[in-house]
Structure 1
Amino acid sequence: MLTTKNYIAKSVESMRPSGIRKFFDLAAGMEGVISLGVGEPDFVTSWSAREAAILSLERGFTSYTANAGLLELREEISKYVSERFCVPYDSKEEIIVTVGASQALDLALRAILDPDDEVIIVEPCFVSYAPLVELTGGKAVTVETTSEQQFKLQAEALERAITPKTKALLLCSPNNPTGAQLDKEDLEAIAGIVKRHDLLVIADEIYAELAYDIQHTSIASLDGMRERTILINGFSKGFAMTGWRLGFICAPYELSAAMLKIHQYAMMCASTPAQYAALEALKTGMNDVEEMKKDYRRRRNYIVQSFNEMGLDCHTPGGAFYVFPSIQSTGLTSEQFAESLLREEKVAVVPGSVFGKSGEGFIRCSYASSMEQLQEAMKRFRRFLGR
């Protein structure tokens, strides 16, 4: 009898399923669950963007676009990145429209890594980082951060992790899952080390629009960093367009050309209606972004205060829409805490351990839910902790 398992690639067979998905699946089978686990806005995509997609369909724009994406959209992205983050890119040669920021990350890693090349990733981090590195044959080298440092990468820790095989640093700011935001001074210290060791930076800046207390600084905007940075961003988080699956990469020509070759064979191009929606979002949607950000800031302040009042130490995140409170005082592991909370009080959160070893003892809670849901969730937390 044929055993099909024998045909599965070893790199895939050894890969663990997403720890986030496990808790989504558990919650999906229960009624009355409040989910603080989902990493997507509870806002609907702006009407003007939705209308632009509908209009594109009515006008029959249903064929492929250029591999790199609609030129008009790339021109608007170039303008947006230049004005918003002070980094200029050529719209024809240095920008690729991708199927979400996730595909952009996959392209970047596949374009630069040879077998055994090392990429430094900063934990706690999004669950896909290490697996995507390993699928290329590369090696993910982790640098841990701590709550005492508000989960910010320390330059000394980065320096210690670099070896002759290190090729790139994968950096996410604002961070998922901790919400940590690196300011310009933090980034300049990191950039100095990157330049001294002749590394690349893959900058995942998908949460750039969701920075609450200080302006977002792109590491690509710092002196000498544009030429060694692959800048990844998209429309999912800041523009409430998760389901449209649209991101983009900005990088120097040689790197963009390499990534475009892979994109041509693997994906052809991103969805045409989604590109027209994104074009409209950039042209007319910034007011919607600002309104969302105001509401997120209010929710952030509420949930941070609530957790601290309960005795669960929680730093105030600078960006994204997650808090990362400590549950160490309960004596439970993060997975035990999350499973018990879900079964006893029907609140879904994500155990910090799925984001790396330094996430153990914490849980990730998304505040991309209505204030009413957050208030009810906090009541349930208090009941749970009281027991």
Structure 2
Amino acid sequence: MRFFSPKFENEYTLGKRICNGVTCQIRECRSIKEEKDYVVKIYPSDLDDINTIRYEHHLYVKNKLNSIPNILKLKECYFDKYYVYYVMEKYEGKDLFATIMDGLQYSEHDLATFFRQIFRSLRSLHSLNIVHRNISGKNLVFARDDRRVLLLKGLRYMLSTNEYSKFNIVVEHSLQYLSPEIISQDTNLLNITKSDIWACGVILYTLLFGTNLFPIEFPFDKYTQNIVKGEINWNVKSPLLDYSNKLAIDFCKSLLKLNPDERITAKDALFHPWLSIDNVDSHNKQLAPERFYAEVRNSIDELDTLEENTFIQYRHRLNDDVLSRSGGSALLNKLGSTLSLSSRSIKLQGQKPPARLTSRCLPFKIRKPALRMKRFGSKRQDTKPLIENQVVEK
């Protein structure tokens, strides 16, 4: 990987557009030298949080994150006057939740296999004092259509606790994966990695029991209160499990401890009897009745609805006074109100939105395209703008 490298158009040809993200355009590309396909995220160079992208690349290179198993790999990153090109490994499968919505049926054995791969990635990240901070069902993707290898992506918001003061990092996150200590502003640099563990517990609970951690109903503020209280219903029965063996439930409980100091670490999770390499193959491989998977899909649909309507934004900042008093344990402060979680509710109340509240559109300034590129199998230059003008919704 290189930071300041030759121009993107000299190394790659652009393919078809995959989709428009909130702040970028995602397209296929092909390495001219390797003749291998990749995916490139194209950001405008004047994006407000461009430092977040630089910081992600910095952590990838410095900590050699491409060597970590089950992480979506970064190929190269290019910066020029107009755009930032983020070239990533290409995966063929869909994300975990989308695959289940498309009809994937799984057993307890499958879940243990999936989560062992997830925690292998988190163990390596946390050992480097790096927090992912954006664990979700949509950031767990299958490398291929055979649905065996699961990759962790969405590393844009990761944070190194060794370098928390170097960059001004902002996180936009939907409510359902936030841990109690994040919401109550009781997180410190010693237990910040435990927020990743909680998010994994939220996903496992939904897939294990076919229902969400807490009821999702309007107003969504009640969901926030339920997270902080941590009153989880463990009396739900799962048709996936043989109740003579409660290892799966015990493991899920260890992920969802209200006190982050009591929550299991990613390293210890791999040695839990439910995830240990010696026991994974012995888990129940029988599928549940179809009705159970319909309930899972309904729960995922509820999570998607919650994500579309709410997100919470917080910023990690170093408070020198707190640092001097705590002997190195800096509080991680949060921006945004837990009482008004959606941009819509803020507008209705006539309040000024939190700093850098973003709408779901591409905030690109209209300008002339920087590049004209050749498409796959074509000798003619592409005459269309790299990123076409977007209609910004008000």
TM-score when scaled to structure 2? 0.23
TM-score when scaled to structure 1? 0.23
Greater RCO (Cα-Cα under 8 Å, separation 6 or more)? 1
